[in-house]
Amino acid sequence: MSWRTIVVSPHFDDAVLSVAGLLARSEGPAVIVTVLGGAAGEQPSAWDRLCGFVSAEETVRERRAEDARACEILGVDQVVLEYPDAPAATLRLRGLEDFLSEHVTRETRVLVPMGIGNADHEAVRDQALDVLRKVAVTEPWVYADLPYASVVREWGGDSAAEVLAARPPVRALAERCRIRPEVRIRLQEEEWALKRRAVLAYASQLAPIACDYGEFAALPGPLQHELVWVVEE
């Protein structure tokens, strides 16, 4: 399969929360690749229990089904890697390396998470960028993780990228390579309606996320805005 856009999503929902609007604007076939798509262990994690799951098997089954619905709404393909939902820094993501090495061409746009607010996202980012350096055929794009990035008051404004540059994950990446804000999106009404439908597909996640981030799915609200950097090696 040849995709024009590949979005690397650490967990189910990260890509849709962060760049569903950009995906809807992209031309050609696209795919969301969820990296930590396996069970965290024999028992559900504290977060999974908060979401109402009673077993690790149920967690993976229902989350995968939610993700499939979101991908269908957006008209993109779904790929799920079987790495456990565990600290990504301890994992060698060879499956992600193999996938990117096989499918990335000069025509492919690859988006990876910045890692704002989540160490697993940062670990996935670093391993994905290492692979893309070896492939050396495209400039990766790095997306602001939502809802984490929206905690800065400037989110959605012209200075958001400048403020986020002081955050450790962004600063660490900027110390290793040149990055610059490439895409700033404010979703229009029809675009937001599509993104909202996709976000609502992750029903098990919504209440727990709202406990930490309040009215994150409101309009106007943080998910209406998206931000992407380009990595200039």
Q: What is the pLDDT of residues 53-103, one digit of tens each?
A: 888 788 888 999 999 999 999 999 999 998 887 777 788 899 999 999 999
pLDDT in tens, 10-37: 999 999 999 999 999 999 999 999 999 9
Residue 47 has pLDDT above 90, yes or no: no
Average pLDDT, the chain: 92
Q: What interhelical angle do 203-213 and 56-74 show, nearest 10?
A: 90
Supply the CATH number for residue 76's domain.
3.40.50.10320
Domain assignment of residue 54, given as a range: 5-232
Spatial separation of the C-alpha atoms in residues 80 and 210, rounded to whole Å: 25
Q: What is the pLDDT of residue 16?
A: 98
Task: Determine the 3-state secondary structure of 103 from DSSP.
Answer: helix
Q: What is the pLDDT of residue 113?
A: 98
Backbone angles phi and psi of 3, in degrees to 5: -110, 140
133-185 pLDDT tens trace = 988 677 999 999 999 999 999 999 999 999 999 999 999 999 999 999 999 99
Is the pLDDT at 42 greater than 90, yes or no?
A: no
Which residues have a Cβ under 8 Å from the Cβ of 118 and sit 6 or more positions away? 10, 145, 148
User: Regarding beta strands 141-143 and 225-232, do their DSSP bridges make them parallel or antiparallel, or are they unpaired?
Assistant: antiparallel
In total, how many domains does the chain have? 1
pLDDT of residue 11: 95
Indicate if the alpha-carbon torsion angle 191, 196, 116, 85 is positive or negative: negative
- The residues with which 80 forms a beta bridge, in sequence order, are 34
